Amino acid sequence: MKERGFEIAKGYEDKGINLPIRKTRNSAAYDIEAAEDIILPSFKKGMKPTLIPTGIKAYMKSDEVLLIVPRSSGPKKQGISFPHNVGVIDSDYYGNSENDGHIFIQCINLKDEDVLIKKGDAVGQAIFQKYLTVDDDSANGIRAGGFGSTDKN
């Protein structure tokens, strides 16, 4: 029985996507790569973040969450910063009808010039975590879509 892991998202099966891996036995996070070349424009006030496709989706137990966090070298080496600091991938995002659970990494470029992110470049890290709910939790909504859809119930 599958408990947690990564799979290739629909539409990326033949694109040579590498599933995330940990680099050392004590690493907490799995490195996530860009699924295609993408230009990150230099950030200007009022600009929306760039979504970097990863070509992957993640499955996990219903009481788990996948946290997408920046790489420590991201700002210095690539100019990558996460405008939201941490991405939250809920267990019911997996396989959703809108985008199959495809994980995108929301980024801004802190450098003065545009930056080319190449397919296969590590752009973030993923950490699986258990989470807790409060005693009087009454959430019973059902996911109605993909990216940013939890407020659409």
pLDDT at position 73 is: 76
* 83: Cβ contacts below 8 Å, ≥ 6 apart: 49, 106, 107, 108
Domains of the chain and any CATH numbers? 5-132 (2.70.40.10)
pLDDT at position 86 is: 93
pLDDT at position 53 is: 97
Q: Tokens 């939250």: give the residue.
A: 88
In what side-by-side order are the strands of the sheet with 30-33? 30-33, 122-130, 64-69, 87-90
Which two tokens mark 150?
């939890």
Rounded to whole angstroms, the Cα distance separating 94 from 60 reads 8
Digitized pLDDT (tens) for each residue of the chain, 153 residues in all: 899 999 999 999 999 999 999 999 999 999 999 999 999 999 999 999 999 999 999 999 999 999 999 987 776 777 888 888 899 999 999 999 999 999 999 999 999 999 999 999 999 999 999 999 999 988 887 756 655 555 555
